[in-house]
Each structure stands twice: as structure tokens, then as C-alpha cells.
Structure 1
Amino acid sequence: MKIDVIGDVHGCFEELEQLFSKLGYKKEQIIYIHPQQRVPVFVGDITDRGPHSLNVITLVYHMVITHKKARYVPGNHCNKLYRYFLGNKVQLRHGLETTVAEYKRCSKEEQAIIRQRFMTLYEQAPLYLQIPECNAIIAHAGIKESYVGRANKKVTSFVLYGDTTGEFHADGRPVRRDWAAYYQGDKWIIYGHTPVLQPRFLNKTVNIDTGCVFGNQLTAFSLPEEKITAVSSKQPFVKEKFATYEAH
């Protein structure tokens, strides 16, 4: 099995199509297929902030659910959109407002289709994905080695939001521990969630959220080749959105 793990898309549909093309996928009707049967894996946060979240939902739904040519794990933004579609009271901020604005511009019939597709995608997704053939685990914000094989409230919080301390930065972002610095496993942990200017490799983990929606790049990590492929963003660059780390 050969996989291409795709970082946080956040509604950047044009960049996603460009990335598929650069990876060698061909568009067949409404989905992308690789001639060598490679499998795309979406690392979550496919919507919010970017300009075309509904197009991304439609494409990912058809690739994952209808045609079973891709895999998907949810991110925290996916979780919040799912709760919105459930009818729960959620705050329309941190990017959700852009997806909801797109959604509300649709007809009632189109809204019903989008809602059903996204909820099905979310409900059928694993919290994180283990792919033994590639010696890899894909989890939106990462996962501790001791959490692999488990699924409870604590694991869910970690996988969706990262290793949060309960404190917050001045701009409202949660303070997170650098869990990857302490990872000692032999499986690849491929994750996103925290925007970085370059893919961050540390202790057989790699963060591939290179902040496409903040004007940098949309990135894929391919296994077993251990290869990075990226395309440039069409969005405005917002430097302060990117994390920096101390050297280890």
C-alpha cells in the first residue's frame, strides 16, 4: 500500500486540485485517481477559513465514501462543523463562519445534501488511522504512543486539539506541549493542526500542516517513499499564524 497524506486543506480547493495533479493523480469525473493506485489520506480540518469548503467536502465525500479511493480522519474544525450540523450551539468563529456563510448561500436542497454528506463522512471516520502496511498512524493533532489503540475522552481531546495545557496565548490560541519531542515509537506519526512554515520532522513524527489557508503551502507526505510534495497557496500570507519551536 502506498499513501499520500494530505495536510490541513481548510477549504483551499484549488490548491488541493493542484496538489493532486503534482502527485500524479488524474481527474476521473468528479474524483482524483492515481494510476498506481496510491491512496490519499486527509489529515482533517478540510473546511473553514478558506474560500471553497463546500467543494472540498463534496470531493472528499465522493473519494472516501462513494468511491472508497481515499481515507479521512477528522480534525477539530471537522468536529465543530459536525456539531453545528447536529444543531448544537457553537460559536461561529475561528473559521467556521466562512463555511457557514457558504452553506447559507445554498438552496435548501443543496444544504440538505452538503449536511448529509459531511455528517456521513464524519460519522464513518476513525478518530485516527493505523496503516500497518506503511508503519504509520495518521492523527489530526498527533497522538502519544501510549494512546495508540485506545479511544476515550482524553485520547479524543489529544487527537483533535493536541497536548493542551489548559492555558491560552494572548491571541486566544491554546498553549500546547511539544509532545513530538518525547515520542520514541518506531511508527510514523503523521499529523497537522499547528501551522508550520516547513514540514516538521522530529522523532519519526511529521507535522504537514504548512498553513495553506494562511498563505504558505499545501503539503503531502508520501509513504513508503518518505517524500514531501507541496504546492504554493493562493491565499494571503499571515506570518503570525505559524508556530515556531525551540531546537531539540
Structure 2
Amino acid sequence: MNDNPNVSNGTPPPYDIVGDVHGCIDELRELLNELGYVDNDKGGVRHPAGRTLVFVGDLADRGPANMAVWKLALASIESGAALLAPGNHDNKFARYLMGRNVQHTHGLEGTVREYRALPQREQKALSRAVLRLVVDGPPYLVLDNGNLVVAHAGLEAWMIGKVNKRISSFARYGEQTGELTATGLPVRRDWANAYRGKPLIVYGHTPVATPEFRNNTINIDQGCAFGGGLTALRYPERELVTVSARRVYAPPSMVERSAGLAPAAVEIG
């Protein structure tokens, strides 16, 4: 277990932290407009006031425009206007790009179909960028001089500032309780219930009906692909901005949940 300075990012606040996009480009565009972002000349976005966009991961799978989301995110990141804390779906796509034997399920089949439809030159450029970001980049982000952590599935206090295989897996997948939902999906352990760390941890991964600050953590995934919403946390203001999903893109039966938490609104009406 070694300290890894790679997770510490010196980009100063303010930030706009966006929950799981899952290929919902229209909702992402609407949210970015609400937050005041404008297009740059490279296919990405920037904020006139210099705010930084931070994605909490799971950019693609399940939604209708996965390559469009990846392209916008990559162009924004490469211009210095955005950051990514990669999620499990981002990691799975990266493993596909590396030639690994991954199952084309849970939305990856749509992402792969869109990727294969790109011209070869675009495929190669996008593949290089994704691998550089997801495989070679940090598994989570420590921001604002250690006052803020963005990790796709969350992070326990003792893990902050460190990286090993277990910590990287936790940041992207969380930990399972051994239970299954009614549709056979794993139930994730509610790590935030015991969190007592100083940094605010912003995460997503398992959709919730309403984002709430709890023990200095907040889950901002409102299940946009499942017909919920796409949410951003403005930091340090701690203000939430949400746009509603335009339709249901993926069956609500595929929603995972954390033990002890209310599931996403799409499951409870």
C-alpha cells in the first residue's frame, strides 16, 4: 500500500461535479448549459468563469449516445477544462479496447456498436485517449488540497491518498454484501454509513432517489439512464443542479443499490 501522488490533482476549485452520465448526451448538454458551460473549439466545453468540470465516472453504456459523451468528455479533459474519476463501466470499456474478453452486457453492447461504427482513424484516437485516461490515470481524485475526494463508488477514509489493487477496485466498484437484488444484481455495502473522514467524498455508482449529504459524503447518481435525472454538485457552494431524463433508456430492473439506502426514484415510483 503506497502513497500515490497521481491521485492528488492541483486543479483549484471551483468545480462542477457531474454524476453518472451513461451515454445521455442530451441531458448532459442541458445540464452543462444550466451550469454555464459553453462549447470550446475542440468539441468539448469550458466555463467562462474558469470552473472545472469533474465527471464521477460511467460516461457511457445504457444511453443513446455513448460516443458523443466520450468525445465531449475527452475534448474537455484534453483542453484542461475537465477531469474524470473513472467508473466500472469506463474500466470495462477500456478492457474491451485492450482486447480483453469482456461480456458485452449492461449497456456495453451499445457502446461497442457505436465505437465500431466510427472511422478507423477515430477509433484509434479515441482508444488511445480512453486507455491513457482510464488505465494510466488515477482511480480517484483528491482535490482542493485534500478537502475533496471524487471516487466513482466511494472510498473509505483510510484509503485516501493511497493506491493498490484493492483500493482501485473499491473506488470503481465498491464492495458487495453478498446479497442480490430481486433481479439478481449485487447489493453494495453502504460504506458511507461508517465514514468519518475529513474530506468530502462525492460519488455515484448506485442510483439514489435524492442526493443527500451524509457523514460528509454525497451520492449524486440519480439514474439518468433509468429515467431519473442527471445531477451536478457545485463545489465549494454545495449546491445541486439537476435535469430530468428525457425518457427511460434502460430497464429499471438493471438498477443496483446500496444496502440500507432507498433505491433510485425509477424503482420507487
The TM-score range, normalised by the shorter chain, is over 0.9
The CA deviation string for residues 143-171 of structure 1, in whole angstroms up to 9 with x for no partner, is: 00011121111111211111223443342
Q: Is the 8 A contact 2:206 2:258 kept in 1?
A: no
Amino acid of the structure 2 residue aligned with 1:78 = D
Deviation at 1:62, TM superposition (A): 1.1
Amino acid of the structure 2 residue aligned with 1:168 = L
Give the 3-state SS of the residue equivalent to 1:19 in structure 2.
helix
Deviation at 1:124, TM superposition (A): 4.4
Alignment of 1:34-45 (within 5 A): 34-45=47-58
Aligned to 2:140: 128
The CA deviation string for residues 15-60 of structure 1, in whole angstroms up to 9 with x for no partner, is: 1111110011122332221121111100110011111111111111
1:214 is matched with which residue: 226, 234, 248?
226
Aligned to 1:105: 117
Q: Is the 8 A contact 1:134 1:223 kept in 2?
A: no
1:51 matches 2:64:
yes
Q: Is the 8 A contact 1:58 1:117 kept in 2?
A: no
Amino acid of the structure 2 residue aligned with 1:163 = E
1:198 is matched with which residue: 202, 206, 210?
210
The percent of aligned pairs where both chains have the same amino acid is 42
The 10-residue stretch of structure 1 (149-158 or 164-173) with the greater mean CA deviation from structure 2? 164-173
Amino acid of the structure 1 residue aligned with 2:186 = P
Alignment TM-score, normalising by the size of structure 2: 0.86
Aligned to 1:150: 162
Distance 1:101 1:120, change over 3 A: same
The CA deviation string for residues 165-185 of structure 1, in whole angstroms up to 9 with x for no partner, is: 344334232122111111111
1:79 matches 2:91:
yes
Q: Is the 8 A contact 1:75 1:193 kept in 2?
A: yes
The CA deviation string for residues 122-143 of structure 1, in whole angstroms up to 9 with x for no partner, is: 2343111011347210000000
Deviation at 1:214, TM superposition (A): 0.7
The 10-residue stretch of structure 1 (188-197 or 97-106) with the greater mean CA deviation from structure 2? 97-106
Counterparts of 1:245 and 1:87, CA distance in 2? 34
The CA deviation string for residues 99-137 of structure 1, in whole angstroms up to 9 with x for no partner, is: 011112223233223222222222343111011347210
The 10-residue stretch of structure 1 (127-136 or 56-65) with the greater mean CA deviation from structure 2? 127-136
Q: Which runs of 5+ in 2 are unaligned?
A: 1-12, 262-269
Alignment TM-score, normalising by the size of structure 1: 0.93
1:14 matches 2:13:
no
Give the 3-state SS of the residue equivalent to 1:202 in structure 2.
coil
Q: Which runs of 5+ in 1 are unaligned?
A: none
Q: Is the 8 A contact 1:127 1:159 kept in 2?
A: yes
The 10-residue stretch of structure 1 (99-108 or 140-149) with the greater mean CA deviation from structure 2? 99-108
Counterparts of 1:15 and 1:129, CA distance in 2? 24
**Alignment RMSD (CA, Å):** 2.0
1:33 matches 2:46:
yes
Amino acid of the structure 2 residue aligned with 1:31 = G
Counterparts of 1:111 and 1:176, CA distance in 2? 34
Q: Is the 8 A contact 1:5 1:42 kept in 2?
A: yes
Q: Is the 8 A contact 2:147 2:199 kept in 1?
A: yes
